[in-house]
Structure 1
Amino acid sequence: MAGGDAPGESDPQLVASALAGRQSAYATLLARHREAVFRLARHHAGDEGEALDITQEAFIAAFASLAKFDAARPFRAWLMRIAVNKCRDWARRRAVRRLFRMARPLEDAFDVADQNLDPEAQAISQAELARVSAAIAALPANLKDPLILCRLEGMSMAEAADVLGLTEKAVETRIYRARQKLSELLEG
């Protein structure tokens, strides 16, 4: 599988191939992990356009730093750590922009309502999804990150702890607090 797409190759093999100049290895890594990075960014930003920008920034940064990847560690965790950092960078930039103008509303956070619903039910479904998305986006980063990684991205607490540089117990505690805060936000 020297020149083409190699879905059977492991991430470390693909990294080595990419570093050796094989463009298809970059493409395979991107295809394999872009949805997870995008979902993380979308849950952070609450906006698909911003999430696309964050995803692109995360992959650019990852590919620029590929030589620093430690093949003994999971590539996905390494990439998600970069994505979390890009989300935090985005949040800082957004906070600065708020000083100069009002932040954009989160009214169009997702467009994934069930297409089999009648128009009224579809509108209610979209509104509820937007409400939940906005609540997740409103969580503080220290609570949002573990919640997104474990509950929405399906990472184990150990994987999330590795990505975030925390203990498993800290991840567990933060997920518990995030759920409490979400309940307050959604009930209020």
Structure 2
Amino acid sequence: MVARYLTGPPAGRQPAFAGLMRRHKQPLYRLIVAQIGDPDDALDLLQESFVSAHAALGRYDPSRSLRAWLARIAINKCRDWHRRRRVRHFLARVLPIEAGERIADTAPDAQAHAIDRDDLARTLAGIRRLPAILRDPLILCAIEQLSHAEAAEALGITVKAVETRVRRARALLDADRA
């Protein structure tokens, strides 16, 4: 589909990209929800990820995994989202109360969506508490089922680093349950 998009006639580009989106939207959505915990914001970030992918598709290296490339874009969008959220929380504490109403984060609590699934909610919360350096490889490998090589490519680290970080993340989650 990428080759069809890049080398095909202009009229065929939109259907090619639509096919690419259909194929990858569910895995990317799951990845984003696992990263941020908010299904509504995840839809927005999914859309932003595809907009960025569309803009950068000309720079995509076909010798690399498209899935890993898209996952990297989505992870970067999630990191931006987390940064914006931290800034909003900081400003809400620093600015007067009246100003806080204008910038308050109204995102629903992820556990409110999973009251009947306490174990899943605890696991997802534990994953979100992990530092990004451990959380990202764990989500890519355990949830999105990317190979260690694909996760390494998406994160720009070595395969051995992915293996080590996944092992450490699982150990922290196990210790959190105990």
Tell me, yes or no, whether TM beats 0.5.
Answer: yes
Change (3 A) 1:96 1:186: farther
| Residue in 1 that maps onto 2:10 | 20
- Structure 1 length-normalised TM: 0.79
Bigger mean CA deviation after superposition, 100-109 or 167-176: 100-109
Partner of residue 74 from structure 2, selected from 69, 78, 83: 83
What is the aligned counterpart of 2:111 among 107, 114, 122? 107
The residue type equivalent to 1:12 in the other structure is: V
2:2–2:17 contact (8 Å) kept in structure 1:
no
Could you list the per-position Cα deviations for residues 138-187 of structure 1 after superposition, in whole angstroms to 9, with x for gaps in the alignment?
21111010000011111111110111011111101100111122123333
Query: In the superposition, relative to structure 1, how do residues 41 and 19 fare at CA in structure 2: closer, same or farther (>3 Å)?
Result: farther
> Displacement of 1:107 after TM fit?
2.0
Q: Shift in Å at residue 109 of structure 1?
A: 4.8
| Larger CA deviation: 81-90 vs 67-76 | 67-76
Match of 1:169 among 144, 147, 160: 160
Taking a change above 3 Å as real, the CA distance of residues 186 and 96 of structure 1, as seen in their structure-2 partners, is farther
TM-score by structure 2 length?
0.83
Which structure would you say has the larger RCO, counting Cα contacts within 8 Å and 6 or more residues apart? 2
Q: Give the match's secondary structure for 1:166.
A: coil
Gaps of 5+ in 1: 1-10, 111-122
* 2:23 counterpart residue number: 32
Q: Does 1:68 align with 2:59?
A: yes
1:57–1:179 CA distance, 2 compared to 1 (3 A): same
Q: Answer yes or no: is 1:42 the counterpart of 2:46.
A: no
Quick check: 2:2–2:16 contact (8 Å CA) kept in 1?
no
Unaligned runs of 5+ in 2: 93-103
Aligned residues: 164
